[in-house]
Structure 1
């Protein structure tokens, strides 16, 4: 049996987090040659290159990313063990850190993440919401395990990561029963002069909606624009206007916001992605999310 040298693994873990051997050396108070030697020995024992040099920084290889994820769990568990022995408090579960693009529908995020929570009672979910660019930067630094987004990563993002399409869904307009009753007959021509709530301009859905309205030659009254889709739905719940929603979660939207589906927007489609540093998904929580999305949510 080949034994893993955890001392070498700890040096690797610190270097991966700090980005350079020099930074790790200052943090560990160990000479750079000693760290380089131990990294080399770890790579030899594992039979894999763990780093590649990019300018002055070290970038993890695919194998390095896999080792880093295990190292995160190993040293997190070690800290939890010592905390438990010192304080008597139960150890916290393993963290699964997910970046959520701020344009993502919150009900959809909940549906997508539920299978990960069902994997283990010890899993501790951490959700970080921000714009996609910021989240991709954090993903590249291995600060996140996964990013959920309604837009794919593009080469211009400058981050080595991979898109995994979870599924796609049509879009409909929702509203209070009183407002829906006004438009159900002769939809979508009936939308003329009807109040409408729209997502922010810097979203794929907003562009699709504007194109759809133009192609159907209808002119609703734009009552409000919202970057936060949950806030948009909250205003829609009070009858301020019809609002777009993902048909894959139509039942949840109607139940939570006490609204009805006014009509489907033919040709308007939302896509949902899991973005990870893995070309082939291996992380058990990400696998659970992907499998459930394809077999249930977007089946």
Structure 2
């Protein structure tokens, strides 16, 4: 079968909707012979008749009914295209460039941004890195904001501002390989089972170390991770028990198939948005800060 011509299909579609070739010719402003020629060439390319005699008029064949239904979809979409393009031009994409520190839990990032993700015009760009590198990009206005686990100290050379986004208590999680043993005599059990911890530069690490001291526990540390997602991945695969923000408990259990073995009383992880201006102009950043 040859590739058919969409002009031929369009003439057929108009004839099918108007109920005949004469009416189609009037609608299109062409001769009846032109319409019939276009449709005949379409039938030849498709290898089947699309119209059949019905008294003095014409009716669609079974193949014609199928073709007409498909043509409806094609040309109705085509007729709507100019309006769609006008709407797109009048409502340009909202570009949001976010820097995310390595230590910030990625499930928490999604939670912090949930109220802007429904924006239909959103074009989101995420960059991950160290806090120093991200703040440098923020100062140069390469980022709209930075999401991190700590407030940034005032710096006379950088006009940056810390906005608290909330906090979450920390709990301990384990895969099936360690859950039962870790739950027995918790938290003293953390001296016996393998333990994974955030790297020393993470804001939550010092509160965790102080918690171990208060509980008189010498943890059996087998791994430290700067990237929170790696920590959870290794923990979920049985390398050791690990701490995580309880705010994402449901997502954590569903995604990583782990169990909560106990809470880390008195230890919380805090979350901040860092911006380069005190009065934020970006509408999506404003929306995040007031959520």
- Asked if TM exceeds 0.5, the reply is yes
CA contact (8 A) 2:138 2:276 kept: yes
Alignment map for 1:280-291 (pairs within 5 Å): 280-291=279-290
CA contact (8 A) 1:136 1:157 kept: no
Could you report, residue by residue, the CA deviation over 1:49-101 in whole angstroms, capped at 9, with x for unpaired residues? Answer: xxxxxxxxxxxxxxxxxxxxxxxxxxxxxxxxxxx9xxxxxx97231111111
Structure 1 counterpart of 2:118: 118
Structure 1 counterpart of 2:48: none
| SS across alignment from 1:155 | coil
CA contact (8 A) 2:112 2:165 kept: no
Structure 2 counterpart of 1:225: 224
Is the aligned partner of 1:210 residue 2:209?
Answer: yes
In structure 2, how many angstroms separate the alpha carbons of the residues matched to 1:208 and 1:129? 24
In structure 1, how many angstroms separate the alpha carbons of the residues matched to 2:107 and 2:156? 27
In structure 1, how many angstroms separate the alpha carbons of the residues matched to 2:231 and 2:275? 29
Structure 1 counterpart of 2:256: 257
Deviation at 1:153, TM superposition (A): 1.1
Calculate the TM-score normalised by the size of structure 1.
0.64
In structure 2, how many angstroms separate the alpha carbons of the residues matched to 1:100 and 1:272? 11
Deviation at 1:166, TM superposition (A): 0.4
In structure 2, how many angstroms separate the alpha carbons of the residues matched to 1:280 and 1:172? 35
Is the aligned partner of 1:101 residue 2:101?
Answer: yes
Pair 93,282 (structure 1): closer, same or farther in 2 beyond 3 Å: closer
| SS across alignment from 1:186 | coil
| SS across alignment from 2:128 | strand
In structure 2, how many angstroms separate the alpha carbons of the residues matched to 1:224 and 1:178? 16
In structure 1, how many angstroms separate the alpha carbons of the residues matched to 2:92 and 2:197? 41
Pair 263,157 (structure 1): closer, same or farther in 2 beyond 3 Å: farther
In structure 2, how many angstroms separate the alpha carbons of the residues matched to 1:103 and 1:146? 16
In structure 2, how many angstroms separate the alpha carbons of the residues matched to 1:158 and 1:268? 33
CA contact (8 A) 2:154 2:160 kept: no
| SS across alignment from 2:113 | helix
CA contact (8 A) 2:95 2:124 kept: yes
In structure 2, how many angstroms separate the alpha carbons of the residues matched to 1:108 and 1:92? 29
In structure 2, how many angstroms separate the alpha carbons of the residues matched to 1:149 and 1:142? 17
In structure 1, how many angstroms separate the alpha carbons of the residues matched to 2:274 and 2:280? 10
Deviation at 1:282, TM superposition (A): 4.3
| SS across alignment from 1:196 | strand
Deviation at 1:157, TM superposition (A): 7.7
| SS across alignment from 2:169 | strand
CA contact (8 A) 1:98 1:147 kept: yes
In structure 2, how many angstroms separate the alpha carbons of the residues matched to 1:105 and 1:248? 11
Alignment map for 1:3-14 (pairs within 5 Å): none
Deviation at 1:280, TM superposition (A): 3.6
Could you report, residue by residue, the CA deviation over 1:138-184 in whole angstroms, capped at 9, with x for unpaired residues? Answer: 11111111110101111248411111100011101101134121122
Structure 2 counterpart of 1:131: 130
The RMSD of aligned alpha carbons is: 2.4
In structure 1, how many angstroms separate the alpha carbons of the residues matched to 2:245 and 2:290? 19
In structure 1, how many angstroms separate the alpha carbons of the residues matched to 2:118 and 2:156? 32
Pair 157,135 (structure 1): closer, same or farther in 2 beyond 3 Å: farther
CA contact (8 A) 2:169 2:247 kept: yes
Structure 2 counterpart of 1:247: 246
Alignment map for 1:269-280 (pairs within 5 Å): 269-280=268-279
Alignment map for 1:24-173 (pairs within 5 Å): 93-119=93-119, 121-156=120-155, 158-173=157-172
| SS across alignment from 1:124 | strand
Q: Which has the larger radius of gyration?
A: 2
How many residues are aligned here? 206
